[in-house]
A = this chain, B = another copy of it.
Amino acid sequence: VVAADRIATGDDVFRSGEIMEALGRAGYRLTRARRAVAEAIGEQRGHFTAEQILSAAQSRHAAVARATVFRSLDLLDEVGLVERVDLPSGEHAWVGCGASRDHHHHLVCSRCGRSVGIGDVGIGQLLEGVALRSGYRIESHRLEVFGLCPACATRP
């Protein structure tokens, strides 16, 4: 049941081109603003906030309206290219979802924000037990894991 080989499905980073292609495939217009947001996301190494995308775009001479950043992120979320994470601080951030479109979770570096996807490491199985004992009919779960990435762990 546990797909051990699906653990650590790779860095949650992608090129802006991939984003635009996916948007096109989903039937959305490939606009200048969306390209700018896609490029800004491509520059991010880890999780990012709407604010970061906004200023990344500005510093590239590809300014986008604040509202458009939010609208684009929502769109990308719908398409499954990014996903919201709630940081321990309570902040809302986003991470790219790499290639895997399946149910998965994120392992986020608490220093640099770099994130990797992790597959279903067997939590579903654990939760079956919880369901039995609690009587709840479990519908969904969210797991967010925080720690230091290899680079940040060695470099103090």
Contacts and interface: CB of A to CB of B under 8 A. Distances in A.
Given A84-B90, A146-B141, A136 B116 contact: yes
A147 B153 contact: no
A142 B88 contact: yes
A145 interface: yes
A27 interface: no
Given A129-B121, A140-B146, A141-B144, A134 B88 contact: no
A139 interface: yes
A111 to B, nearest CB: 10
A137 B123 contact: no
A107 interface: yes
B153 A136 contact: yes
A133 B140 CA distance: 25
B129 A107 contact: no
A132 to B, nearest CB: 9
Given A141-B146, A143-B142, A146-B141, A109 B130 contact: no
A8 B133 contact: yes
A47 B124 CA distance: 23
A150 B122 contact: no
B149 A130 contact: no
